[in-house]
Amino acid sequence: MNITTISFHLRKRFNNRILKEKTYNTYAEAAEKCKRSLYEDNAIVQLLADKAKDNSFTKPSAKPLNPGCLALADVISRQLIQHPAKPITVLDFGGGNGDYYYNTRRIIDKKILLKWVVVETPAMAKMLQPYQTQELFFTDTIDKAMALFQNNLDILFTSGTLQVMPEPYKTIEMLCNTNSNYMVFHRQSLSLEDFDIISIQTSLLSWHGSTKLPDNFKEKIIKYPYTSIQRTKFEDQLKNTNYQLLYTFDEATGVKRVNSYNVQGTSYIYKRS
């Protein structure tokens, strides 16, 4: 454990016990305090690209499956029942270097064809172009992804991404407008208060992405705004669409605790009516 890691954990422990965490009225106000390029931080982009180089990243492994992959496998099977002959199209919003693709591919039959497009930041999408495959693609906008699908999308998937978007409610609207057959909102951090909880997430660079760290890795602290949106507003916004809720399950890994505010970690699976 290096000095950056030790300092990070000591500071976090002290703050949690002694200090009240600062919250903000807007994303922009929190972003100003971060004074970095947020999720466009070159260190994050480079790390995820370096991890994509690792051969073990694309191979089956014995590590536990993320529940989001099980939800994906479920909606893929539902889609196959309706349209067994065509490739399954998946838009993975905020999918990093394709981790969910590779882990979902582990548990579905090789005969099932996928067309999986990750929508990421411009810097991330550009850096990951060399790691595209016959099934996995990277782009920087929803519109570009939909063009690759010829506006025919089976599954919209997003995991822990709304929390870091500047305008999460507009983002939800954009995702609904893809008119996908199924939507999976995985690892949502939702405020049970009557307001959004906007704070700053402080994390270690090494936490980003899966697989082992590159040999030349240097740890650093990353900061970016983090919003737990109101659960009632999230659910009401989806009720006013042409989607019906199939089921939910608890998933606390996307939750950020702020002071004594009540938050809930939940995943939602929807089907277009």
Instruction: Give the pLDDT score at 212.
Output: 75
Torsional sign, CA 201, 205, 207, 209: positive
More confident position, 141 or 65: 141
Q: Please state, in angstroms and as integers, the Cα–Cα distance from residue 149 to each residue in 116, 178, 186, 233, following that order.
A: 9, 11, 22, 30
Instruction: Give the pLDDT score at 54.
Output: 75
Banded pLDDT at 219 (limits 50, 70, 90):
confident
More confident position, 155 or 43: 155
Instruction: Give the pLDDT score at 222.
Output: 84
Strands 221-230 and 197-204: antiparallel
Banded pLDDT at 40 (limits 50, 70, 90):
low
pLDDT at 234 over 80: yes
Fold of 3-272: Rossmann fold (3.40.50)
pLDDT in tens, 73-119: 999 999 999 887 789 999 999 999 999 999 999 999 999 999 999 99
Q: If you average pLDDT over each of 3-17, 35-49, 149-163, which comes out highest?
A: 149-163
Instruction: Specify the 3-state DSSP secondary structure of 139.
Output: strand
Using alpha carbons, select from 64, 155, 81 the residue that is nearest to residue 114: 155
Length of the chain, please?
A: 273
Please report which helix (H) or strand (E) contains residue 14, including its range: helix 3-18
97 Cβ neighbours under 8 A, 6+ residues apart: 48, 49, 51, 52, 57, 118, 124, 128, 131, 209
- Read off the pLDDT of each residue in 241-263 and give the average, rounded to a whole number: 95
120 Cβ neighbours under 8 A, 6+ residues apart: 94, 95, 96, 128, 138, 139, 140
φ/ψ of 107, rounded to 5, equals -110, 5
**Token pair of 65, please?**
């499956």
pLDDT in tens, 157-210: 999 999 999 999 999 999 999 999 999 999 999 999 999 999 999 888 887 777
d(CA 96, CA 65): 17
- Percent of residues, the chain, with pLDDT higher than 70: 88
Q: Beta-carbon neighbour count of residue 89 at 10 Å?
A: 23
The residues that bridge with 268 in the sheet, in sequence order, are 185, 248
More confident position, 106 or 8: 106
